[in-house]
Amino acid sequence: MYNNFLQLDEVRYAEDKEPLGFEYMRLGLNDVLYDSKTKTVYTPNMNALANLDGSGLTSDEVRGIMELRKKMNWVKGSKGRFAGSVPMGGGAISDDSDKTIKLEKGEYAKIVSEINTNYRKYDGKRICYHFSYWKNNFYTYKFINNGFDDYRFIGKWS
């Protein structure tokens, strides 16, 4: 029953006890449901549906957005630790070093944790992609893999 291949009343039947009439199936909120026929992913705790067939990820998203912002607030240091704040308006920088990737702190912690958990998938790869969700939207995060728990994010798309 714990692994969902038996339901409550089935177990009670096997134990020769009266059924409770409990007709619900238990689904963990930690799991998403993938329909291999329609190539859609349903996330129960968000009531969100995403297509993985190349036609789009969610119905109302804006595609192809890479969040490149001016410097502000906190900066990530080595090994993902905070490295203080970046001064605002600290002089004009006109080349690509002016670009930054903006992530919310909770988002960053969640994504890094997920990558760490699934690190086997990324082990040995220099440039990696991680598909996840944050605040009701699905995103793909692109990062340079410097080893376990040492990731340099270089892109994010919804």
Partner 1 sequence: MEELEILLKGVSDSYSDFVVGVMAEARSSPEKLDELIAFIKNNPEATTSDIGEWTAVNIQGIDLENPPELVLVDDEPEES
Sites of contact with partner 1 (CB under 8 A): 52, 54, 57, 63-66, 68-69, 71-76, 82, 86, 96-97, 99-108, 121, 125-131, 135-136, 140-142, 144, 152-155, 157-158
Phi and psi for 27 in degrees, rounded to 5? Answer: -125, 130
Longest dimension (CA), the chain: 77
Q: What minimum distance in Å lies between the beta carbon of 54 and partner 1?
A: 5
CB of 44 to partner 1, least distance (A): 17
Helix (H, G, I), strand (E, B) or coil at 82: strand
* Token representation of residue 9: 């009343």
Find the radius of gyration of the CA atoms of the chain.
Answer: 21
DSSP state of 64: S
Q: Which is nearer to partner 1, 8 or 46 (CB)?
A: 46
Judged by beta carbon, residue 12 or residue 102, the one nearer partner 1 is: 102
Task: In angstroms, give the least distance from the CB of 154 to partner 1.
Answer: 5
Nearer to partner 1, 11 or 86 (CB): 86
Shortest distance, CB of residue 62 to partner 1, whole angstroms? Answer: 10
The smaller minimum CB distance to partner 1, of residues 94 and 97, is found at 97
CB of 55 to partner 1, least distance (A): 9
The Cα angle at residue 68 between residues 62 and 71, in degrees rounded to 5: 145
In the complex with partner 1, the residue whose CB is nearer, 27 or 144, is: 144
Element (H, E) at 123: none
Which residue has 């598909």 as its token pair? 131
Distance CA(88)–CA(109), nearest Å, equals 24
